[in-house]
């Protein structure tokens, strides 16, 4: 029987929203999203660290079905790592998801696959779900080497994990050239890479892991391009940056089925 993968749509707020702005945005989402939305799709927000407590308090207090998580984590346990935030701290906040290896961290903080792998492990150790972000820069795509590049990032990020751990995590394919540029990948391009990712997971970690790992597309997702991307068989949801900062845009993305052409 084919694995049933519930779609996941996660809003990566990046370095936007003070805790007060985060409360306002979460309230709007809580007001707009319905049980029907949550029955069809897991929906999460990923605020900056400074807003996590406020978002948690609001979601818990109002019993919202919105999930939440963090954009990064230290690979270390608590200790002398000034400015960092540990997986234990995020787990205490009730985070469900934690991004690892977002391209903005790889670019601005020089994170490599070894470090990203240690972050994935730290998240798993605290029973949260890592969202491993991978994706090729423009020059790699132009050279036609995107599949090799992305699969190498995948292998590095998942190194040493058990099949059970891999089957429960989330991979986000985010081509760097599509992030924040308005230049979304075509549905066929997204499918080509997501299919290759699933194939590689099946080959390395076994078919059950490949069938159950959720693979998201990210990069300039908007309400209008979401339905066609979600029609692809190996795309299980979206990691949304800019468009997640506007409640009505994000809700429209979550309701992509209503505009489905299939
Ligand atoms: C992201 O930051 O993960 C992202 C996909 O950004 P955007 O949607 O703005 O391209």
Per-residue pLDDT of the chain (262 residues; tens, 9 = 90+): 456 899 999 999 999 999 999 999 999 999 999 999 999 999 999 999 999 999 999 999 999 999 999 999 999 999 999 999 999 999 999 999 999 999 999 999 999 999 999 999 999 999 999 999 999 999 999 999 999 999 999 999 999 999 999 999 999 999 999 999 999 999 999 999 999 999 999 999 999 999 999 999 999 999 999 999 999 999 999 999 999 999 999 999 999 999 775 5
> Angle CA(164)–CA(105)–CA(57) in degrees, nearest 5?
70
* CB 214 within 8 Å of CB 236: yes
Quickly count: other Cβ atoms within 10 Å of residue 118's Cβ. 17
Does the annotation mark 77 as catalytic?
A: no
Distance CA 150, CA 112 (A): 13
The residue whose CA is least distant from atom 3 of ligand 1 is 241
CA 224 / ligand 1 centre spacing (Å): 15
Tokens 């985070």 found at: 95
pLDDT of residue 1: 45
Distance CA 194, CA 191 (A): 5
Question: How far are the Cα atoms of 23, 220, 238 from residue 9, in angstroms, in the given order?
Answer: 19, 13, 5
Distance CA 70, CA 87 (A): 10
* CB 197 within 8 Å of CB 154: yes
CA 243 / ligand 1 centre spacing (Å): 8
Does the annotation mark 145 as catalytic?
A: no
Atom of ligand 1 nearest to the CA of 242: 9
CA 161 / ligand 1 centre spacing (Å): 27
Residues facing 69 on adjacent strands: 97
């Amino acid at each position: 029987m084919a694995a049933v993968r519930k779609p996941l749509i996660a809003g990566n707020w990046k370095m936007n929203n003070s805790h007060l702005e985060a409360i306002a945005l979460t309230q709007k989402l809580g007001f707009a999203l319905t049980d029907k939305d949550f029955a069809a799709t897991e929906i999460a927000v990923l605020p900056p660290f400074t807003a996590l407590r406020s978002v948690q308090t609001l979601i818990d207090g109002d019993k919202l079905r919105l999930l939440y998580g963090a954009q990064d984590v230290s690979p270390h346990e608590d200790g002398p790592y000034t400015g960092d935030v540990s997986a234990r701290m995020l787990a205490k906040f009730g985070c469900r998801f934690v991004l690892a290896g977002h391209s903005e961290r790889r670019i601005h903080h020089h994170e490599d696959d070894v470090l990203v792998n240690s972050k994935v492990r730290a998240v798993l150790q605290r029973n949260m779900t890592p969202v491993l972000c991978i994706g090729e820069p423009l020059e790699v795509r132009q050279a036609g080497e995107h599949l090799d590049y992305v699969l190498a990032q995948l292998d590095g990020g998942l190194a040493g994990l058990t099949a059970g751990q891999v089957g429960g995590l989330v991979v986000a394919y985010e081509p760097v050239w599509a992030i924040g540029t308005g230049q979304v990948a075509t549905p066929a391009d997204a499918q080509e890479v997501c299919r290759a990712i699933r194939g590689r997971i099946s080959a390395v970690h076994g078919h059950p892991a490949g069938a159950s790992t959720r693979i998201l597309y990210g990069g300039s997702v908007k309400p209008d391009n979401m339905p066609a991307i979600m029609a692809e068989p190996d795309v299980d949801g979206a990691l949304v940056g800019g468009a997640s900062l506007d409640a009505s845009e994000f809700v429209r993305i979550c309701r992509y089925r209503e505009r489905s052409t299939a």
